[in-house]
A and B are shown apart, each in its own frame.
Chain A
Amino acid sequence: MNPKSKSVGIVKTQSATFDQELKLESGQKLGPITLAYETYGVLNQSKTNAILVCHAFSGDAHAAGFHEGAKDPGWWDALIGPGKALDTEKYFIICINCIGGCKGSTGPSSINPKTGKPYALNFPLITIADMVDSQKLLIDYLGIKKLLCVIGGSMGGMQALHWVTAYPDAVQSAIPIATALKHSPQQIAFDEVGRQAIMADPYWNNGDYYDKKHPEKGLAVARMIGHITYMSDVSMEEKFSRRLKGDDYSFKFTADFEVEGYLRHRGDTFVKRFDANSYLYITKAMDYFDLSGGKFLSSKRHVDVRFLVIAFKSDWLYPAYQSQDIIRQLKIQGLDATYCEINSTYGHDSFLLEIDEESRLIKHFLDKTFRGYDIRT
């Protein structure tokens, strides 16, 4: 990494509330809507340097820098900061917690103004399109007419794809990473297993648990399954092999292997920061996502958006062929696009870990988008 790269320092999550009701894809309405967001860097006078970072399934608005007193930085700190790929000395970076989430934006754990109690399962089903529509409210509120770029991995990539489809005039470029035009049956299947694990937990109580014990066991199991799908056979071999936690087999059903201990630990820490109902709502939103069959970039208007599509060789949850499907559509539309399949062993997690390669691509792609051809000096 660039040795001059620094952190954006101490940051705070902000929040904006929109009183209007958002008409959802399901036909239902949601409102008022609160959005938690963070920004890094400075919006220029002409408001042409704004980049929207869309987080993945379990992410949040805290993408970079440190919260007061926190030990760990935001989830994409390696990519966002002064001198980094998303250079805060040049660009104004925005990251918004998605609706349906549990980190400050309106979701099932928020108070329903009509009842004074948490929405729980009265929260309407939402889609990726609804998430994007809510993000548009904040982008409008910030006075930004055209985003320099919408970037995101996994579910964040789906949002980037939907942004250019729904608001082609409001986006100059898009960087969908490790994502797909539609959720495959395999992806839906893994999500469903996670949901069933939560709903099988007696403490889930039909989603009504906010003033009681939470369905922690079910949520932890869901997260353990998730983590398996984010790694690869090779990365698990490298990270754990068959190493034992103790000296020998215990001949009990305790966690003998390091991989078991790791998954249990990941499950246990996840339940402290994530809401089980949000897990249900957001996975369902991903499962509904489908821009295949001509729905991607279906606008009759002339679309002039540049694309950088990135996939990872060892990602079996969002395999490279799904990114190539996106590329196929871009070729048909004759759009300016770059595609790279990075040779990484980390599986789907690569988009959070394969920083050097991603940075090389993103930094120069953004340079070209912002300043034109004249970047080779």
Chain B
Amino acid sequence: MTDTTKHLDYAIIEKIVEPGSRVLDLGCGSGELMYLLAKGKNAKVQGIELDEQAIYQCVEKGMSVFHGDIDSGLPEYPDKSFDYVILNQSLQEAKKAEFVLDNALRVGKYVIVGFPNFAHFYSRGMLLFRGKSPITESLPYRWYNTPNLHFLSISDFKDFCQRKDITVEAAYYLGENKQVYFWPNLLALNALFVITK
């Protein structure tokens, strides 16, 4: 089983998802979260993942997954064909992040977006005091090997939702191993938004 204390985000997503839902997990990795939702919530889950080895791991868990990138994975799906579309730690790696979000909102009744918060105080400190690109627990890469193409803060995402007329149903802010309730844009390492349009 997955250690849920290490995966606070999984535990929260598992709480959000209603039993028996249809779920699409974009950038599902080796299928840990899909497995939790299938077993725990009897969800009908489908993943999309780019890494070939991760595909084998998904199939070994009994999960259904499409081998491909999330940028081109959505257009064929009819409107609202899923209850939830999950973009957990994958949106920042998509080439066309806005296009992916627009399509996710079209295909899913709700979209659950999880991303690392670029405005965490430690990141700010690294830039301000050391003049270096931030490396934090949620942004562990160096500038030359990061898969991340987009760097956004919690405030950035809220602005984006407002500008695009996207409704924020719920927001969860995550620290190292527990939720953060004050000054999330400063104190949270990761954020999880439930949005709809």
Contacts and interface: CB of A to CB of B under 8 A. Distances in A.
Interface stretch (B4-12, B65-73, B115-123, B172-180): B65-73
Interface string B41-81: 00010100000100110111110111110000000111001
B35 interface: yes
A375 B142 CA distance: 38
Nearest to B76: A331
B55 to A, nearest CB: 5
Interface residues of A, number: 28
Nearest to B107: A331
Given A357-B56, A360-B59, A373-B39, A339 B44 contact: no
A368 B67 contact: no
A328 B76 contact: yes
Most B CB contacts (10 A, CB to CB) among A324, A365, A373 go to A373
Given A336-B44, A342-B52, A376-B60, A324 B68 contact: yes
B38 interface: yes
B48 to A, nearest CB: 9
A56 to B, nearest CB: 23
Nearest to B1: A376
Interface of B: 35, 38-39, 44, 46, 52, 55-56, 58-62, 64-68, 76-78, 81
Contacts of B59: 308, 338, 340, 360-361, 364-365
A364 B52 contact: no
A365 B68 CA distance: 19
Interface string A299-334: 000000010100000000000000010011001101
B110 to A, nearest CB: 18
Contact of A375 (B55, B62, B64, B78): B62
A343 B51 CA distance: 11
Interface string A356-377: 0100110011011000111110
A337 interface: yes
Given A337-B64, A367-B62, A375-B62, 16 more contacts: A308-B59, A328-B76, A336-B46, A336-B64, A338-B55, A338-B58, A338-B59, A338-B64, A339-B68, A340-B52, A340-B55, A340-B67, A343-B52, A357-B56, A361-B55, A374-B62
A306 B44 CA distance: 12
Contact of A341 (B52, B61, B78): B52
A308 B67 CA distance: 11
A360 B60 CA distance: 8
Contacts of B39: 373
Contacts of B66: 327, 337-339
A338 B65 contact: yes
Most A CB contacts (10 A, CB to CB) among B56, B65, B66 go to B66
A1 to B, nearest CB: 15
Contact of A361 (B44, B56, B76, B81): B56
Contacts of A340: 52, 55-56, 59, 67
What 3 pairs across the A-B complex have the smallest Cβ distances?
A368-B62, A331-B76, A339-B66
Contacts of A308: 59
A284 B81 CA distance: 39
A376 B65 CA distance: 16
Contacts of B56: 340, 357, 360-361
Most A CB contacts (10 A, CB to CB) among B52, B58, B64, B78 go to B64
Nearest to A307: B64
B19 to A, nearest CB: 14
Contacts of B65: 338-339
Contacts of A376: 35, 60-62
A364 B39 CA distance: 17
B62 to A, nearest CB: 4
Contacts of A364: 59-62
